[in-house]
A = this chain, B = another copy of it.
Amino acid sequence: MTFRLVVEILPKDGMLDPQGEAVAASLAGLGFDEVSAVRVGRLVSLTVEADSADHAVRRGEEMAGALLANPVMETYRVEVEVR
């Protein structure tokens, strides 16, 4: 079966995130002053052949740990996408 996976990658809470700080400052400058705690990460969308949704997610987690994310600095979460 074919599954669409989404891997969400964000800097860990303790890590500096200058890109997030820049976005927060720009948003405030545009008048969005209700915003705080901006973090900028990456999103990887992929199509996977797998026997089951569980298997697809497990493979997605292996991919995230091996290549997509840096587990020292980033957290990741893999989800089967339902659009």
| Chain A interface residues toward B at CB < 8 A | 6, 8-10, 20, 23-24, 26-27, 30, 32, 34-50, 59, 62-63, 66-68
Contact = CB atoms under 8 A, between A and B. Distances in A.
Contacts of A36: 46-48
A70 to B, nearest CB: 14
Interface of A is mostly: strand
A37 B42 contact: no
> Nearest 6 A-B pairs (CB), nearest first?
A37-B47, A34-B49, A41-B43, A43-B43, A39-B45, A38-B46
A40 to B, nearest CB: 5
Contact of A44 (B38, B44, B47, B66): B38
